Amino acid sequence: MDHHQTLERNSTFYDKLRHQFWYGKWMWVAAIALFLLSFGLWQWFGMNMKHIRTGREERLSLLLPDNSRVQLDPRTSLRYREHFNESAQRQVWLKGTAVFAVNQQEADIHHHPRYFIVHTDLLDITAAGARFSVKIDKGYIHVGMLSPGSIYINFKDKKLKDCAVAHNEALEYRKGGTPVVDAIGE
């Protein structure tokens, strides 16, 4: 048997194997597994979410599952999980303007702090227990700290340095610009 015949035999074997996979029972097993995985992810991330939107003139006060409060201004949307439990982080997704009064929570069963995270298009805000305001408008964001304590700002633009905002301070940031932290009222 020469080298050429060995290559022909190997290529024929792989062709048959590939043919069996795509046209045999394995294709159906893979398709069903992919469907079940997709459905499970959709259930986990999509179905358990609550979406709140305010109208043009509407203001709305909400009590979140962890007993934190949020005041939504007109034309604001907020999305969050229906339940904040040991396995689900306290996270909300905001577009618009809101004031948050976040309750401090005890550490979880693994002794990790239970932070409250507000996700926006430009940055994420992490709080342990604080009262703060967030205003988002067309590439501009203003975050004001209204109570003792501090919040942590994590920019989505990784060229920017993350920072903390303390009591009576505010952060202003316009997309593409430089973030500025000043005392409130300056």
Residue (of 14, 31, 55, 102) closest to 92 by Cα position: 102
Per residue in 112-142, pLDDT tens? 677 899 999 999 999 988 899 999 999 999 9
Q: What span, in angstroms and rounded, lies between the C-alpha atoms of 166 and 146?
A: 9
The answer to whether residue 10 scores a pLDDT higher than 90 is no
User: What's the predicted TM-score (pTM) here?
Assistant: 0.72
- 């997709």: which residue's tokens? 38
Tokens of 95: 């577009």
CB-based contact 92:66 (threshold 8 Å): no
Per residue in 40-60, pLDDT tens? 776 666 557 899 999 999 999
